C-alpha cells in the first residue's frame, strides 16, 4: 500500500473496516486480536457499529413465516427454565469437574513420565539430550470452555502426551490443531488432533527444542485437515504454558 | 461530541435511528422521546433484560416485535429465505443466551439486535463461501461472544448519517453501503468493481475517515 497515514489514522480505519467486516485474512485476524486485547480499539469498533446502525432504517421489515417462532421456542426451551444463571452454573460445574480431573490427570501423567523415563527405547532418544531434562506439563484451557487438555512433554523421549478432559467440541468441517508458541511468539504447528482422549506424538528435533519451560501450547480451530497457511487462522480454544511438572 | 441536533430531528422509521446519547443528552432523550417512539425503546430494553433472566415469554414478545426487522436484515444479506430463516433462528437463540450482554446505556435494543443479526448473517455468508483463509465460521464454533455484541451509539440519527454519506464521493458511498448491506469483503468489492484491491481499500478507508469526521463535527 502506497498511501501514507498516521499510525492512529491507520488504527481508526482498521476499527471501521473491522466493524463493517470488510477485512479478510491477516488483517481480520489482527483486528480481532486488537479487539480482544485493546479496550480502546474495541470501543472504537463498537462505536463504528453504532455509527453505521442508522442504515438499518433502510431495511424493509419482512414477516418471517409463522413456524419460525416454533423453531426458536424449541431451540430455547431445551434449557428448562433456561436462565443464563442456570447455564452458567452448569458450565462452572463442568469446568470445576474438568479441572479437578485434570489436576489428577496431570499428576498421574507427570508421575508416569517421571517414573518411566525409559518407556521409549534408548536407541530412539536423541544424543544431544544426554543430561536428563525434567518433564514439563501444560494445562490447556480457560474458564469459559468445557474442554480441558493436559499436555505433558518428556524432553528426553521427545514425546508429547495429550490427555483430553471434558467435551472437545466436534464439528465435521473443522479440525483442532496443536501449536507451540516459543519465546519468539511465532506459532509452529505440532499437527492436528484426532478425537481420541489421549494422544502420543514424538516430535522432530527442530520442534522438540521449542518446547522449553514457558513456551505456550495452544489449540486452534482450523479448517478440516489443518491450517491452510501454516499459521493459526481460527480462534484459539485452549492454551497454557509449559512448566515443571 | 454531544450532538443535540440529533435529538431535534425526528426521522421516520425505527426508533433505533434516534440516537442514544450520553449523559445529559440521554436523559433528555428519555424524557422527550419516549412518547414519540411509543415507548418502544424502553419496552424492548426491558424485554431484553427479562430475556437475560431466562424469561421465555419475554423472548417471545421480543421476537414478535423485532423479528420482521431482523428477518429483513438477514434476507438482504443472504438473498434467500431458507438461509435467512436459519440465521434468524440462530439470532434469537443467541439473544436467549447472551441477552445479558446488552447494555441499555450504550445502545438501543433494536440497534443491538440489528447488529447481531447482520453479523450472524455475515458469519453465515462467509461460511457458505468457505474461503479457506477467512473462516469466520470457525470463530463461530469457538466463540459467540466475541462477534459484535458490543455496540456504542452516540446521538446521531439517520438524517445525520445520510447527510454525511452524501458528503462522500459516490463511489465510496456505494461501496460502504454495499459492504454494510451485503456483507461484502474488500476482495469481493474490488472484484465487483474491477479495480485492484489497494485501490478499493484506499477509496473506502478515505471514505470511512471522512465519514467519521463529518459525524463528529
- What is the secondary structure of chain B as a DSSP string? ---SHHHH---SS-GGGSPP--THHHHHHHHHHTGGGTTHHHHHHHHHHHHHTT-HHHHHHHHHHHHHHHHHHHHHHH-SHHHHHHHHHHHHHHHHHHGGG--TTTS-HHHHHHHHHHHHHHHHHHHHHT-TT--HHHHHHH-STTSS------S--HHHHHHHHHHS-HHHHHHHHHHHHH---HHHHHHHHT--HHHHHHHHHHHHHHHHHHHH-
Asked if A179 and A190 touch (Cβ cutoff 8 Å), the reply is yes
Contact state of B114 with A56 under an 8 Å Cβ cutoff: yes
Question: Is 60 exceeded by the pLDDT of residue A77?
Answer: yes
Q: Give the pLDDT score at A194.
A: 74
Find which of B3, B142, B186, B210 to mutate to test the A interface (most A CBs within 10 Å of its CB).
B142
CB atoms closer than 10 angstroms to residue A108: 13
**Nearest CB to B183: which of A21, A81, A144?**
A21
Question: Is 60 exceeded by the pLDDT of residue A132?
Answer: yes
B160 vs A101, which has greater pLDDT? B160
Q: Give the pLDDT score at A122.
A: 44
- The dihedral region occupied by A191, where left means phi > 0, alpha psi between -120 and 50, and beta the remainder, is left
A126 vs A201, which has greater pLDDT? A201
Question: Is 60 exceeded by the pLDDT of residue A20?
Answer: yes
What confidence category does residue A203 fall into, taking pLDDT thresholds of 50, 70 and 90?
Answer: confident
What per-residue string of b and e applies to A187-211 under the rule 16 or more CB within 10 Å gives b? bbbbebbeeeeebeeebeeebbebb
Q: Give the pLDDT score at A205.
A: 80
Torsion of CA B175, B68, B101, A32, to 10 degrees: -20
Q: How confident is the prediction for chain A on average, in pLDDT?
A: 75
CB proximity under 8 Å: B 132-151 to A? 132-135, 137-139, 141-143, 145-146, 148, 150-151
Q: Give the pLDDT score at A192.
A: 80
What confidence category does residue A102 fall into, taking pLDDT thresholds of 50, 70 and 90?
Answer: low
CB proximity under 8 Å: A 45-64 to B? 45-47, 49-64
CB atoms closer than 10 angstroms to residue A6: 8
> What is the mean predicted confidence (pLDDT) over A79-98?
42
**Cβ of residue A120 closer than 8 Å to a chain B Cβ:** no
Sign of CA dihedral B20, B23, B28, B34: positive
**Nearest CB to B156: which of A13, A51, A71?**
A51
Question: Is 90 exceeded by the pLDDT of residue B193?
Answer: yes
**Cβ of residue A8 closer than 8 Å to a chain B Cβ:** no
> What is the mean predicted confidence (pLDDT) over A61-81?
85
Q: Give the pLDDT score at A235.
A: 74
User: How far apart are the CA of A240 and the nearest CA of chain B, in angstroms?
Assistant: 17
Q: How confident is the prediction for chain B on average, in pLDDT?
A: 78
Closest CA to B117 of B76, B74, B79: B74
User: How far apart are the CA of B155 and the nearest CA of chain A, in angstroms?
Assistant: 9
Cα(A4)–Cα(A202) distance, integer angstroms: 48
> What is the mean predicted confidence (pLDDT) over B148-165?
82
Find which of B86, B135, B181 to mutate to test the A interface (most A CBs within 10 Å of its CB).
B135
Question: Is 70 exceeded by the pLDDT of residue A92?
Answer: no
Count Cα neighbours of B120 within 13 Å in the Cβ-side half-sphere.
Answer: 27
Residue A104 DSSP SS3? helix
Question: Is 50 exceeded by the pLDDT of residue A212?
Answer: yes
Tens digit of each residue's pLDDT (9 = 90 or more) over B200-216:
999 999 999 999 999 88
Strands, sheet with A188-193, edge to edge from the N-terminal-most edge strand: A188-193, A174-181, A216-223, A236-241
Find which of A59, A192, A232, A234 to mutate to test the B interface (most B CBs within 10 Å of its CB).
A59
Question: Where in the sequence of chain A do the CATH 2.60.40 domains occur?
Answer: 84-244
A212-226, B102-116, B158-172, B188-202: least confidently modelled range: A212-226
Q: Give the pLDDT score at A59.
A: 95
Contact state of A221 with B138 under an 8 Å Cβ cutoff: yes
CB atoms closer than 10 angstroms to residue A214: 10
Question: Is 60 exceeded by the pLDDT of residue B188?
Answer: yes
* Whether pTM exceeds 0.80: no
B104 vs A77, which has greater pLDDT? B104
- Fold for the domain defined by A84-244: Immunoglobulin-like (2.60.40)
Domains present along chain B, CATH in parentheses: 18-142 (1.10.1740.10), 158-216 (1.10.10.10)
Residues of B in contact with A221 (CB under 8 A): 138-139, 141-142
Q: Is the ipTM of this complex over 0.85?
A: no
Tens digit of each residue's pLDDT (9 = 90 or more) over B65-91:
999 999 999 999 999 999 999 999 999
CB proximity under 8 Å: A 225-244 to B? 228-229, 233-237
CA-to-CA dists, residue A202 to A57, A124, A219, B113, angstroms:
58, 10, 17, 49
Amino acid at each position: 500500500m502506497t498511501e501514507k497515514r498516521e499510525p492512529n489514522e491507520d488504527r481508526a480505519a482498521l476499527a471501521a473496516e473491522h466493524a463493517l467486516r470488510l477485512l479478510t485474512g491477516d488483517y481480520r485476524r489482527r483486528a480481532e486480536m486488537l479487539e480482544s486485547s485493546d479496550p480502546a480499539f474495541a470501543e472504537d469498533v463498537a462505536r463504528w457499529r453504532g455509527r453505521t446502525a442508522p442504515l438499518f432504517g433502510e431495511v424493509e421489515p419482512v414477516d418471517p413465516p409463522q413456524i419460525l417462532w416454533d423453531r426458536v421456542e424449541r431451540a430455547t426451551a431445551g434449557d428448562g427454565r433456561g436462565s443464563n444463571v442456570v447455564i452458567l452454573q452448569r458450565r462452572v460445574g463442568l469446568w470445576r469437574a474438568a479441572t479437578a480431573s485434570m489436576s489428577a490427570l496431570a499428576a498421574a501423567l507427570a508421575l508416569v513420565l517421571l517414573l518411566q523415563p525409559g518407556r521409549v527405547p534408548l536407541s530412539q532418544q536423541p544424543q544431544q539430550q544426554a543430561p536428563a531434562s525434567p518433564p514439563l506439563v501444560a494445562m490447556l484451557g480457560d474458564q469459559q470452555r468445557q474442554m480441558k487438555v493436559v499436555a505433558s512433554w518428556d524432553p528426553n523421549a521427545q514425546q508429547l502426551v495429550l490427555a483430553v478432559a471434558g467435551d472437545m467440541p466436534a464439528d465435521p468441517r473443522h479440525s483442532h490443531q496443536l501449536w507451540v508458541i516459543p519465546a519468539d511468539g511465532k506459532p509452529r504447528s505440532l499437527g492436528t488432533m484426532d478425537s481420541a482422549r489421549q494422544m502420543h506424538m514424538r516430535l522432530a528435533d527442530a520442534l522438540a527444542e521449542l518446547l522449553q519451560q514457558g513456551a505456550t501450547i495452544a489449540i486452534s480451530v482450523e479448517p478440516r485437515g489443518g491450517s491452510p497457511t501454516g499459521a493459526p487462522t481460527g480462534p484459539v480454544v485452549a492454551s497454557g504454558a509449559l512448566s515443571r511438572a | 461530541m454531544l450532538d443535540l441536533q440529533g435529538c431535534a430531528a425526528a426521522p421516520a422509521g425505527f426508533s433505533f435511528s434516534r440516537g442514544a446519547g450520553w449523559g445529559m443528552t440521554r436523559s433528555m432523550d428519555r424524557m422527550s422521546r419516549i412518547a414519540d417512539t411509543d415507548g418502544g425503546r424502553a419496552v424492548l430494553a426491558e424485554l431484553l433484560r427479562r430475556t437475560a433472566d431466562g424469561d421465555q415469554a419475554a423472548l417471545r414478545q421480543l421476537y414478535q416485535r423485532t423479528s420482521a426487522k431482523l428477518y429483513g436484515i438477514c434476507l438482504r444479506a443472504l438473498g434467500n429465505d431458507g438461509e435467512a430463516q436459519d440465521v434468524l433462528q440462530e439470532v434469537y437463540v443467541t439473544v436467549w443466551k447472551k441477552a445479558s450482554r446488552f447494555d441499555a446505556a450504550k445502545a438501543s435494543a433494536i440497534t443491538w439486535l440489528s447488529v447481531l443479526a447482520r453479523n450472524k448473517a455475515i458469519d453465515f455468508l462467509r461460511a457458505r463461501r468457505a474461503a479457506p483463509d477467512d473462516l469466520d465460521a470457525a470463530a463461530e464454533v469457538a466463540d459467540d461472544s466475541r462477534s459484535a455484541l458490543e455496540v456504542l451509539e452516540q446521538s446521531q440519527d439517520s438524517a445525520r448519517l445520510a447527510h454525511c454519506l452524501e458528503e462522500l464521493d459516490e463511489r465510496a458511498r456505494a461501496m460502504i453501503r454495499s459492504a454494510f448491506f451485503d456483507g461484502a469483503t474488500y476482495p469481493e468489492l474490488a472484484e465487483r468493481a474491477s479495480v485492484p484491491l489497494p485501490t478499493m481499500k484506499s477509496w473506502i478507508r478515505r471514505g470511512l475517515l471522512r465519514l467519521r469526521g463529518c459525524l463528529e463535527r
